[in-house]
Protein backbone atom coordinates (compact mmCIF):
# COMPACT_ATOMS: atom_id res chain seq x y z
CA UNK A 1 0.00 0.00 0.00
CA UNK A 2 1.31 3.43 -0.90
CA UNK A 3 1.86 5.85 1.98
CA UNK A 4 -0.46 8.85 1.53
CA UNK A 5 0.32 10.74 4.72
CA UNK A 6 2.19 14.03 4.47
CA UNK A 7 4.17 13.09 7.57
CA UNK A 8 5.12 9.43 7.84
CA UNK A 9 4.60 7.65 11.14
CA UNK A 10 7.37 6.03 13.16
CA UNK A 11 6.91 2.40 14.22
CA UNK A 12 7.43 2.21 17.99
CA UNK A 13 5.17 -0.61 19.29
CA UNK A 14 5.28 0.87 22.78
CA UNK A 15 2.98 -0.07 25.65
CA UNK A 16 1.20 2.99 27.01
CA UNK A 17 -1.67 4.11 29.20
CA UNK A 18 -4.66 5.95 27.73
CA UNK A 19 -6.67 8.01 30.20
CA UNK A 20 -9.99 9.35 28.97
CA UNK A 21 -11.33 10.88 32.16
CA UNK A 22 -9.49 12.17 35.20
CA UNK A 23 -9.72 9.81 38.12
CA UNK A 24 -10.23 6.70 35.99
CA UNK A 25 -7.62 4.00 35.68
CA UNK A 26 -5.58 4.23 32.43
CA UNK A 27 -6.56 1.83 29.66
CA UNK A 28 -3.59 -0.33 28.62
CA UNK A 29 -2.80 0.03 24.93
CA UNK A 30 0.04 -0.24 22.45
CA UNK A 31 1.10 2.74 20.37
CA UNK A 32 2.02 0.92 17.20
CA UNK A 33 3.10 4.01 15.30
CA UNK A 34 3.10 7.75 15.90
CA UNK A 35 3.86 11.05 14.23
CA UNK A 36 3.28 14.69 15.06
CA UNK A 37 -0.06 14.43 13.24
CA UNK A 38 -1.50 11.17 14.53
CA UNK A 39 -0.97 7.61 15.69
CA UNK A 40 -2.20 4.04 15.49
CA UNK A 41 -3.04 2.36 18.76
CA UNK A 42 -4.38 -1.05 19.67
CA UNK A 43 -6.15 -2.24 22.77
CA UNK A 44 -7.96 -5.31 24.01
CA UNK A 45 -10.83 -2.98 24.98
CA UNK A 46 -13.29 -1.83 22.35
CA UNK A 47 -13.53 1.96 22.58
CA UNK A 48 -16.11 4.38 21.21
CA UNK A 49 -14.64 6.94 18.76
CA UNK A 50 -15.81 9.74 21.08
CA UNK A 51 -13.26 8.57 23.67
CA UNK A 52 -10.51 10.11 21.58
CA UNK A 53 -12.01 13.62 21.60
CA UNK A 54 -10.06 14.36 24.78
CA UNK A 55 -7.44 11.98 26.20
CA UNK A 56 -4.11 11.79 27.95
CA UNK A 57 -1.52 9.33 26.67
CA UNK A 58 1.38 8.27 28.90
CA UNK A 59 4.20 6.75 26.87
CA UNK A 60 6.58 6.73 29.85
CA UNK A 61 6.48 7.86 33.44
CA UNK A 62 8.09 11.13 32.30
CA UNK A 63 6.30 11.63 29.00
CA UNK A 64 2.56 12.07 28.70
CA UNK A 65 0.54 14.48 26.61
CA UNK A 66 -3.05 15.63 26.21
CA UNK A 67 -4.67 15.59 22.80
CA UNK A 68 -7.86 15.28 20.87
CA UNK A 69 -8.19 13.11 17.78
CA UNK A 70 -10.68 11.81 15.30
CA UNK A 71 -10.78 8.15 14.36
CA UNK A 72 -9.73 7.94 10.70
CA UNK A 73 -10.21 4.17 10.57
CA UNK A 74 -10.86 1.23 12.87
CA UNK A 75 -10.09 -2.50 12.60
CA UNK A 76 -9.90 -5.71 14.64
CA UNK A 77 -7.09 -8.25 14.44
CA UNK A 78 -5.71 -10.91 16.76
CA UNK A 79 -8.25 -10.08 19.50
CA UNK A 80 -7.18 -6.42 19.46
CA UNK A 81 -9.07 -3.28 18.51
CA UNK A 82 -6.97 -1.02 16.30
CA UNK A 83 -7.57 2.70 15.80
CA UNK A 84 -5.97 5.06 13.29
CA UNK A 85 -6.10 8.51 14.87
CA UNK A 86 -5.57 11.95 13.41
CA UNK A 87 -4.84 14.65 15.98
CA UNK A 88 -7.22 17.58 15.79
CA UNK A 89 -6.00 19.14 19.03
CA UNK A 90 -2.46 18.88 20.33
CA UNK A 91 -0.08 21.48 21.72
CA UNK A 92 3.02 22.36 19.73
CA UNK A 93 5.16 21.45 22.74
CA UNK A 94 3.68 17.92 22.65
CA UNK A 95 4.49 17.62 18.93
CA UNK A 96 8.08 18.62 19.70
CA UNK A 97 8.27 16.11 22.55
CA UNK A 98 6.95 13.33 20.31
CA UNK A 99 9.72 14.06 17.79
CA UNK A 100 12.34 14.15 20.55
CA UNK A 101 11.00 10.94 22.10
CA UNK A 102 11.28 9.06 18.80
CA UNK A 103 14.71 10.58 18.09
CA UNK A 104 16.04 9.54 21.51
CA UNK A 105 14.39 6.12 21.80
CA UNK A 106 13.92 4.90 18.23
CA UNK A 107 16.75 6.47 16.16
CA UNK A 108 16.45 3.73 13.52
CA UNK A 109 12.94 4.95 12.67
CA UNK A 110 14.22 8.41 11.81
CA UNK A 111 17.01 6.95 9.69
CA UNK A 112 14.44 4.99 7.66
CA UNK A 113 12.76 8.24 6.60
CA UNK A 114 15.64 10.68 6.21
CA UNK A 115 14.45 11.66 2.73
CA UNK A 116 11.21 13.04 4.19
CA UNK A 117 12.99 15.38 6.57
CA UNK A 118 11.81 13.46 9.62
Q: Is residue 34 part of a domain?
A: yes
Q: Is residue 4 part of a domain?
A: no
Per the structure, how many domains does the chain have?
1
Q: Which domain holds residue 32?
A: 10-93+100-111
Q: Give me the CATH number covering residue 85.
A: 2.40.10.220
Q: Name which of 62, 55, 67, 73 is nearest 101 in CA terms.
A: 62
Q: Name which of 63, 57, 58 is nearest 100 in CA terms.
A: 63
Per-residue pLDDT of the chain (118 residues; tens, 9 = 90+): 444 545 678 999 999 999 998 888 999 999 999 999 999 999 999 999 999 999 999 999 999 999 999 999 999 999 999 999 999 999 999 999 999 999 999 887 755 654 444 4
Q: Is residue 33 part of a domain?
A: yes
- The whole-number pLDDT of residue 67 equals 97
Amino acid sequence: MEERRGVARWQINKEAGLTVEEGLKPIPCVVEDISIQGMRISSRKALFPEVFANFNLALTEDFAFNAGAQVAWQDNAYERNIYGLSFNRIEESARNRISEYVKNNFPGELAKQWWKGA
